[in-house]
Structure 1
Amino acid sequence: MEPSVTQQSNNNSVTKSNILIEASYKLTVTEQKIILYLVSQINKDDDDFKMYSLPIQHFYELLGYRGSPKYSEMREITRNLMRKILEIKEGKKLKQMSWISYVEYDEHSGRVSLSFDPRLKPYLLQLKKEFTTYRLKNVMELKSGYSIRIYEILKRWQFINDVEIPLDDLRKMVGATDKYLEYHNFKKRVLAPAQKEISAKTDLAFAYKEVKSGRKVVAIRFFIRERRVGGKGVVPEIPHETGGVDALYSQCLARFAERGQPLPPKAFARIALLSQKVFGEDWIDELTKMIDDIVERTDIREPLAFLTYVLNEKIDRIEKGQDHSEVSVGKIEKAMRREKLPDWFAEYQKQFLQDMEQNSAHEDGDIERRRSELEARLQKYKN
């Protein structure tokens, strides 16, 4: 395999599958920058990984060092990096793999070459949908590994401006499952510094809200905005690409419009999150089918509320270790003995969706109560 000579520019772009962005792993800030620099060297038309080669001096400077390269120090960094594992969850599958499979130092030519693990190909090469792109420059100036990961996650959801992430999931994504176990420490050491650094050095800024169940913080809701270009160290951002998501949103808008129902971006975001939890990497195709089936049914007065109900029921089945396919648009229709859905069902689902949209702390218990009541009433109707 011939090494590919890397471009020595931080203005290159980083493009990663959204699945990879939301993977669980723990890398130091130096290790993250090595990985992201290598990702930025991938050409969008590449169908296989290359050996990415760069001058050892440049590699040394990339790590934030000055002076003559210390080979023993660099070798220790790459050895540790090759041991690091990332976990990718796709549906019921959990995949574990390494980032780097091979490193070669050539002191004669003064170059170092690195190669990605080939199992990363589906998440970095020939991406046609569900990916996110951003400028390498935005992360190379960040000093915290947590800031880099949170920036990537926010970039993934920038197109809808806000996203709610369960705290446990966020910990896994940023690599803080064994640190700052008390939330106030996590806030002090991870969230607050990342908010300050990202807002000062990148093209994004964000605010966040703590979502609680009782007194316990269970999720973080991020409010994302794009920073105006002009400050020192902020480069113009390339168009944000989200692959099939934008196209899906446009398609969903049109389908719901046929029934005279609006589809706000926040409502679509919630549907997308629920669908990903149920269907994994096939969520776009599966969600499209569900929406088509629901919109075609004239007995459903509130398609959006009905869709939300079905997805929540599927998630409930999955969490209980049951087959979520037992809950589907078609099977609910049969359970109703082909009668029109009763008025209470449509109206109740509409209120349920409104409760979800509000998403305030004091309503968490009420939302769960409504869901339980709805399930009980529906079961009586089926019988």
Structure 2
Amino acid sequence: MMESSVTQQSNNSVTKSNVLIEANYKLTVTEQKVILYLVSQINKDDDDFKMYSLPIQHFYELLGYRGSPKYSEMREITKNLMRKILEIKEGKKLKQMSWISYVEYDEHSGRVSLSFDPRLKPYLLQLKKEFTTYRLKNVMELKSSYSIRIYEILKRWQFMNEIEIPLDELRKMVGATDKYLEYHNFKKRVLAPAEKEIAEKTDLSFKYKEVKRGRKVVAIRFFIRERRVDGKGNMLEIPYGKDSSDTLYSQFLSRLEKHHQSISQKGFAKIALLAQKVFGEGWFDELTKIADDILAREDIREPLAFLTYVLNEKVKRVEKGIDHNEVSVEKIRKAVRREQLPDWFEEYQKQFLQGIEKSTISEDEDFERKRAELEARLQKYRD
């Protein structure tokens, strides 16, 4: 049977760990498409990488070329790709690794085979939580490497409908740390073309707002919309639906109000991000279970503060590769001396949560500092 072409395989899905989505790297648009095509060949049940092989002619088409393959051009592309490094930040660790560890051209059979670096296994194989999936065809037609990276980032946060990213972090993620250093150039060469191209060629569209400190742009807030084809072949922009952040916030708020509690949408966004880090796709159901458990207890006077602490403890274990189920509402409640949380804990947690309300998602360092300080005080109290 004849091999299916690259175009025919474009309905395959690309699934990547969210950690990998947010990694820092710089690839050309051709290199990105090679990587994403290989990722789309991974089976969800694979427990190890394989040699991913395809006809050289199809590989040549994937690179955007026409006519007979020129092996010298192809070898140069794969050699450059093997030298490209990505950086992954996990807690206090910074990991550097390559994408591809081996490439083999077989002119006799007319095939090229590539193999991922084995250190990428945790980010591409048997992903159970915190991953993003999209159709390969949504990126194969994009002409800009920046558009591909921004599409992936927005796809990762689509469930929230909006996300604020510090400008410096966005530059690292899209691979533009050494280009367009003036913001107006970054906007003209990266953001504006990506906004246009993503809306024209993918299942998403976005608008963005500049977040300023004084006159300086320090972050970009993206507003994400899904696009679908209707029965007449027209592309429609989907408003916030049943899974949107507005609706989820309303559902969560209604739970709180039954217990005379309240939270702003910004505060909910921060708690939602913590829950998503722990539970992945089913984060909202798990979050509401924990919240309901806490709200039902009369001995917890500050339920939102307590909820924040529980989620932070779970995140800390997830980052260390430890089972987060070691942390539960009951265990934490007992850890601070039987049935009543000390007054200082409640007051401190109240201030901590208020800090979240005032902050933006870009203030993660301050967020982690406050969490560490709280932990130290709590440990001192236990001792």
Structure 2-normalised TM-score?
A: 0.71
User: Is 1:42 aligned to residue 11 of structure 2?
Assistant: no
Distance (Å, rounded) in 1 between the aligned partners of 2:345 and 2:45: 53
Q: Deviations over 1:110-132 (max 9, x none)?
A: 11111111111111111111111
Secondary structure of 2:137's counterpart equals helix
The Cα shift of 1:219 comes to 1.2
Partner of 2:329: none
Name the counterpart of 1:208: 208
- Residue by residue over 1:357-382, the C-alpha shift from the partner in whole angstroms, topping out at 9 and shown as x without a partner, is xx69xxx9xx99xx9xxx9xx9xxx9
Counterpart contact for 2:308–2:353, Cα < 8 Å: no
Superposition pairs of residues 66-145 of structure 1, within 5 angstroms:
66-145=66-145
**How far does the alpha carbon of each residue in 1:206-245 deviate from its partner, in whole angstroms, 9 at most, with x for none?**
111111222221111111011132598979x9xxxx9xxx
Please list, as runs of the form range in 1=range in 2, the aligned pairs for 1:331-350 lying within 5 A after superposition. Answer: 339-340=342-343
TM-fit CA distance, 1:268:
3.7
Q: Find the aligned partners of 2:202 and 2:176 in 1 and give their Cα distance.
A: 22
Deviation, 1:160, is: 1.0
Aligned to 1:64: 64
Q: In 2 relative to 1, CA 275–181 (structure 1 residues): closer, same or farther, beyond 3 Å? A: farther
Partner of 1:26: 26
- Corresponding letter in the other structure for 2:212: K
Which residue of structure 1 aligns with residue 51 of structure 2? Answer: 51
Q: Which position in structure 2 is the counterpart of 1:325?
A: none
What does 1:126-275 align with in structure 2 at a 5 Å threshold? 126-229=126-229, 259=259, 261=261, 267-273=267-273
Alpha-carbon distance change, 195 to 122 in structure 1, aligned in 2, over 3 angstroms = same
Cα distance, 1:275 vs structure 2: 7.6
Query: TM-score, normalised to structure 1's length?
Result: 0.71
Give the conservation status (yes or no) of the 8 Å contact 2:264–2:357: no
- In the TM superposition, what is the alpha-carbon distance from 1:355 to its structure 2 partner? 3.8
CA contact (8 A) 1:203 1:226 kept: yes
Q: Is contact 1:300-1:341 (8 Å) kept?
A: no
User: Once the 2 structures are TM-superposed, how far is the Cα of residue 269 of structure 1 from its aligned partner?
Assistant: 3.0
Give deviations 1:293-337, integer Å, cap 9, x for gaps.
96577566553356669999xx9xxxxxxxxxxxxx879968xx9
Structure 1 SS opposite 2:37? helix
For residues 351 and 50 of structure 2, what CA distance do their matches in structure 1 show? 56
Aligned residues: 337
Unmatched runs of 5 consecutive residues or more in structure 1:
243-247, 316-328
Q: Answer with 144-153 or 108-117: which moved more.
A: 108-117
Q: Distance in 1 between matches of 2:93 and 2:132?
A: 22
1:266 and 1:205 map into 2 onto residues whose CA distance is: 23
Percent of counterpart pairs with the same letter?
73
Q: 1:343–1:192: structure 2 CA closer, same or farther, 3 Å change rule?
A: same
Q: 1:6-17, aligned counterparts within 5 Å?
A: 8=6, 9-17=9-17
8 A contact 2:270–2:356 mirrored in 1: no
Moved over 2 A (4+): 5-8, 230-235, 248-269, 271-277, 287-312, 329-334, 337-356
Assess if the C-alpha contact under 8 Å between 1:160 and 1:265 holds in 2. no
Unpaired segments ≥5 residues, structure 2:
316-331
Cα distance in structure 2, aligned partners of 1:21 and 1:140: 17
Task: Tell me by how many angstroms 1:261 deviates.
Answer: 4.0
Q: Give the corresponding residue for 1:322.
A: none
Q: Check conservation: 2:267, 2:357, Cα contact below 8 A.
A: no
CA contact (8 A) 2:210 2:221 kept: yes
Q: Is the 8 A contact 1:100 1:116 kept in 2?
A: yes
Which residue number corresponds to residue 318 of structure 1?
A: none
- Contact 2:266–2:357 (Cα < 8 Å) also in 1: no
Alpha-carbon RMSD across the aligned residues, in angstroms, is 4.7
